[in-house]
Structure 1
C-alpha cells in the first residue's frame, strides 16, 4: 500500500476484500499495531482497546484451552475475572469443545484458531479485528459467529471471503489492491454494483484514450509542424495520452481452462461403507453410486468424519468395512483442506512442471507456463520461489497443480479456505462447466448453495440425504423442528379465546365428532409412516431416483401430519370448551 488516507469512525462495520497477496492481512496488522508502516502515521484514540485475531494465532502450548482463551487478551481495568472466565468457557463450548481443561498442545491448527477466537470475543473491546475468522469452523459455528458479530456494538473490521457474512454484517467495504484501499460506503452487494460501474467507466476511458492515441500517433508520423504553438500543444497532449495508457492497470484476470479427461460409464460407488479410526466409527453403512454430473455436498460438525470420508474415497485411508469400486477411466483430483508442504526453495514453474509439462484444453495444448499465467502467475513471477507466495497464492498454486493432472472426478475438502473472492468466483464458474463429478466438503454457505444439487449430512454417524443446497437443508431442518415443537406443545398451552360471545349451546358437528374420534390414530399412523420413510431413505441412499421419490413422499406426509396435528389441537380445544360448558 502506498499513500493511503483513511478515516475509521466509532461503530463502523467494515468488510475487507481483495486478491490474495494484495495486503489484507498486512492492513489488519497495521491497524492492530503489530506492524509499523514504512512511511506515514496511524492515529488511534487514546485508551481504545483493540482485539486482534490473525489467521495463525500463537498460544502457549502448556496452557489449558480455557486459560489460553483468557490470556489471549489483557484484562481491562475493573473487569470481573469470574465473568470473563464464564464467558470464555461459554464460547468454547459453543465452538465445539467438550473438555475445557484440554491442553493446547493437543489441538490441531483449526482448533487453536477457535480457542483464539474465543479469546478475542470473551472480553469487551472497542475495536474487533478478525482475519478470516470463518476458516476452520463448521456451518453451524459460521452461523453462530455471524449472529455474534451482528450483536457486536464496537468498531468491527473483518477480512473474510464469506459472502453471506459480508452481505449481512457490514455497511462499508474496503477493497485492498494495486497499492490502494478503495472505500465503498455500502453493503457487499452494493460494492459489487459500484465496482462493476467503476470498472466499466475505467474501461471506457481506456478505450477512448487508445483511440485518441492511435489518431494522434498517425498525425505525429505524418510529420507534425513542430514550430507552431498549436502543434506543440498537440504533441504535449499526445505525450499525456501515451502516459495514461502506459499507467493503465493491467487487465490480467484469473481463468481456469477445462482440463478434464474422458470419463467412462463406471465412476465411483461404495457399498455399506464404514469409516473411522480403530474402534472409533465416524460414519456407518454408507452406500452410494456417484453419477457423471453429480454435484454432491457433505456437511457435518467438526470431527464428524467428513475429511476422513474424503480421504477414504481417494484411497488414502482404508475403510473400516464396506467396498469401494472405482472405474478404470477415473482420475481423482483431491484438493485437500491443508496444502501439502511444497519445497520452499522450488520455483513456481517447476512445481507446476512436476505434475505435467503441458495439458490439453478446448483452446488446444497449453504449456505449464501458459497455464500458470492463466492462474495469475505471470512469466516474470514464475521463477520466484514458492516461499515468496502468500498463503492464498500457495493455495491457488496447489489448485493449479491438481488441475494440471486433468482429473475427471474432483474431491474438494474446504476448497474456499484462503482463496480470495475473485478466485472463488472463477472456481465456481469452472465447477459449473466441469465435465465430471464433484464431491465437496465446505463450510462456505454460498458455495454450497451455488454448486451442490444435493447434500449428505453426517447425523449420528449416518449419512442423511437432502435434495438441494444448504438453504434447502436449513429449510428442511426448520420444518422438522417446527413439527416436533407442535407435537410436544400441550393443547392447554394454546391461548384461550377471550372474546365475548353469545351464550349458545356449543357442540361438535357430525364431521367434527367423526374426526375427533379418529384423529389421534391418524396422527400416530402418519408419524409411523414418516419414521418408515426415513429408514427407507437411508436404506436406498445409493439410488438417487428412489431417494428423490421417497423424499417427495416424505414432504407430502409431513404436510399431512402438520394439517392433522393442527386439526387435532382445534378439536381438543373445542372438546375442552364443551366440557367446561357442561359444568
Structure 2
C-alpha cells in the first residue's frame, strides 16, 4: 500500500512550481522593500558537516508572500539551512540563486551586539516603530546598558525590521519576548508584505502567522506541507492511522504469501514503549494548549493585578516550555 495525502509532497514535485495563496491580495501592505519575481531559488543543494548530511539535493523556489515555518527536531539542521539561504554558509554542492532586489532581514539568536553607551534612539531611529513595539517617548534616551534582557532582544528585532526587508528570516524570535510583545509581533507579521521564514518552537504563535511547512525529517531529507503545524500534526495522526488500517487489511488468513513480501510491505513500527509515549503526548498536548490559551486570555483581559499578572506570565512560560518539549519529542517519534 502507498500512504499519501495530497497536501504532503516530495519537494521534487514542487521545485519549479509557483506557490500562491490568498495572501497575494496583501501586496503593498506592511513594511517591505519592493520585491521582484525571484526570491531565493535552490537547485540540488546539499550540505555535509563532519561526515553527516544535513541537506540532501534540496530543490525549491521560494515565492513572494511565502509564510514558511521550518520544522524538525533539534540538531537536524534548521539553523544551518537558514545560514545557507543567507550566504553565511556555502553549500557542499548545488546552486542557490538570490533575486537582485532581495533585501534579507535575518534575526539570529547570537546576532545581538550593542554598545552600552548607545541609547534606544541611537540604535533605532524610527520613533513610530519604537512606539509600536513598546518603546515610548520617555525611553528613547535610555542607554542600552540599562535595558532588561527582554528589552534588548526586542530592540534587536527592531534593528532588523527597520531595514524594511522583503525577506524576513526569524530564528527563534519568540525566545525572551513577553506575551504582549509577541502579540504585537504577531500583528506585524500578519500585515507584513514580504516573504517570511521562521524557526520557532512556539506553535501557538506560529499557527497564527504561517501556512506552509518545510519539514526536516533527518539525514538531509526535507518535505513540504501546506498548512499550519497543528494541521500537520493532525495529518500525521491520520497518516499513521491509515497505515495501520492498510497493514491489517493486507494480512491474509492463508500462508501462501511469500515471507519476503510480507516483510517488505510491513511498515516500520515504534516499540511498545514508544507507542505508549506517543499516545501520552497526543493526549497531553491538547490539555496543555487549552490551558495556555486560558492563561493568555486572562493576561490579555486587563483585569489581573500586577502580582497575579506576573504569576500568570511565569505559568504561561512553564506551560509553553512543556508544549515545546513534547512537540519536539513528538516530531522525533514521527520521523
Q: 1:269 aligns with which of 30, 41, 59?
A: 41
Shift of 1:380: 2.4
Report the Cα offset of residue 339 of structure 1.
Answer: 4.1
Asked whether the equivalents of residues 276 and 305 of structure 1 are also in contact (C-alpha less than 8 Å), the reply is no
CA distance in 1, matches of 2:244, 2:122: 60
Paired position in structure 2 for 1:453: 211
Alpha-carbon shift at residue 516 of structure 1 (Å): 10
Map of 1:430-509 to 2, 5 A cutoff?
A: 430-460=188-218, 461-488=220-247
Determine the structure 2 residue equivalent to 1:410.
168
Match of 1:384 in 2: 142
RMSD value, Cα? 2.9
Match of 2:96 in 1: 324
Partner residue of 1:166?
none
Aligned mate of 2:121, from 349, 355, 360: 349
Give matches, 1:339-378, under 5 Å.
Answer: 339-353=111-125, 368-378=126-136
CA gap of 1:276–1:384, structure 2 versus 1, over 3 A, is: farther
Secondary structure (helix, strand or coil) at the match of 1:456 reads strand
Rounded to whole Å, the distance in 2 between the matches of 1:430 and 1:491 is 51
Residue-by-residue CA offset, 1:129-184 (whole Å, 9 max, x unaligned): xxxxxxxxxxxxxxxxxxxxxxxxxxxxxxxxxxxxxxxxxxxxxxxxxxxxxxxx
* Alignment partners' CA distance in 1, 2:207 and 2:132: 26
Once the 2 structures are TM-superposed, how far is the Cα of residue 315 of structure 1 from its aligned partner? 1.0
TM (norm. structure 1) is 0.37
User: How far 1:314 sits from its partner (Å)?
Assistant: 0.9
- 8 A Cα contact 1:392 1:419, kept in partner: yes
Does residue 182 of structure 2 align to residue 424 of structure 1?
Answer: yes
In 1, are the aligned partners of 2:69 and 2:198 still within 8 Å (CA)?
yes
Residue 286 of structure 1: aligned partner: 58
Deviation at 1:427, TM superposition (A): 1.4
Q: Distance in 1 between matches of 2:158 and 2:48?
A: 30
Deviation string, structure 1 residues 2-48 (Cα, Å, up to 9, x no partner): xxxxxxxxxxxxxxxxxxxxxxxxxxxxxxxxxxxxxxxxxxxxxxx
Deviation at 1:278, TM superposition (A): 4.4
State the 1:326 CA deviation.
0.7
Aligned residue runs from structure 1 range 5-16, under 5 A: none
Q: Offset of 1:488 from its aligned partner?
A: 5.0
Aligned pair 1:259/2:18, yes or no? no
Distance change in 2, residues 1:318/1:433 (3 Å): same
> What displacement does 1:348 show?
1.4
| 8 Å Cα contact 1:314-1:332 kept in structure 2 | yes
What is the rounded CA distance, in whole Å, between the counterparts of 1:491 and 1:301 in structure 2?
A: 32
Contact kept? 1:432, 1:451, Cα under 8 Å: yes
- Give yes or no for contact 2:200–2:206 (8 Å, CA) kept in 1: yes
Cα pair 1:274 1:322 within 8 Å, conserved:
yes
Larger Rg: 1
Q: Offset of 1:430 from its aligned partner?
A: 1.5
SS of structure 1 residue aligned to 2:176: coil
Are the counterparts in 2 of residues 339 and 395 from structure 1 also a CA contact under 8 Å?
no
Question: Which residue of the partner structure matches residue 209 of structure 1?
Answer: none
| Partner of residue 64, structure 1 | none
Alignment check: 8 A CA contact 1:428 1:450 kept: yes
Mapped partners of 1:396, 1:330: distance in 2 = 24
Deviations along 1:424-459, one digit per CA (max 9) or x if unpaired, are 122122212211111111111112211221111111
1:276·1:308 contact (CA, 8 Å) conserved in 2? no
Unaligned runs of 5+ in 2: 1-28, 266-335
Deviations 1:281-334 (A, max 9, x none): 212111111111111111101111001101110111111221111111110111
1:380 match: secondary structure = helix
Mapped partners of 1:463, 1:431: distance in 2: 25
Structure 1 residues 294-313: aligned runs within 5 Å: 294-313=66-85
Distance in 1 between the 2:138 and 2:191 partners?
Answer: 30
Q: Distance in 1 between matches of 2:97 and 2:246?
A: 44
Structure 1 runs (4+) deviating above 4 angstroms are 487-492
Measure, in 2, the Cα distance between the counterparts of 1:451 and 1:479.
24
> C-alpha displacement at 1:487, in angstroms?
4.8
Give yes or no for contact 2:212–2:228 (8 Å, CA) kept in 1.
yes
User: Could you give the per-residue CA deviations for residues 80-139 of structure 1, whole angstroms, max 9, x where no partner exists?
Assistant: xxxxxxxxxxxxxxxxxxxxxxxxxxxxxxxxxxxxxxxxxxxxxxxxxxxxxxxxxxxx
User: Helix, strand or coil for the counterpart of 1:337?
Assistant: coil
